[in-house]
Amino acid sequence: MPMPEEIVGLLRSKITFKWPGGHETQYTARALRLRCRCAGCIEEMSGAAILDPASVPETIRAKTIELVGQYAIQIFWSDGHETGIYSFRDLRQSCPCEDCARIRAAGGTPA
């Protein structure tokens, strides 16, 4: 999975990933925070959610975004959370845009 060419979203309500080939994936900051899969947000053994969505404010923002190797980012959130790692593969394949949703509905995987 290629790395995004650009990530725009510090202190913004939306975080945009610009991929090679021109595709853009955009998540609201809150939606991305709710996607965290760390042990503090998801129970490791069962996979059950621990994070209460009501505890994540609508006004949450990414204070810092750091690369993790060549495969992911770590986001330091305004609510103090910072242990989640977001893989580029998952971010791209889960793109919420209409085109990618159609590809998934047809049984494909967004590239």
Domain layout of the chain by residue ranges:
6-105
8 Å CB contact between 100 and 110? yes
CATH number of 6-105: 3.30.2020.30
- pLDDT bracket for residue 57 (50, 70, 90): very high
**3-state class (DSSP) for residue 6:** strand
pLDDT 10s digits, 72-102: 999 999 999 999 999 999 999 999 999 999 9
Whole-structure pTM value: 0.93
Kindly tell me the burial class for residue 86, based on how many C-beta atoms sit within 10 Å of its own C-beta (0-12, 13-18, 19 or more). buried
pLDDT of residue 3: 94
pLDDT 10s digits, 1-53: 789 999 999 999 999 999 999 999 999 999 999 999 999 999 999 999 999 99
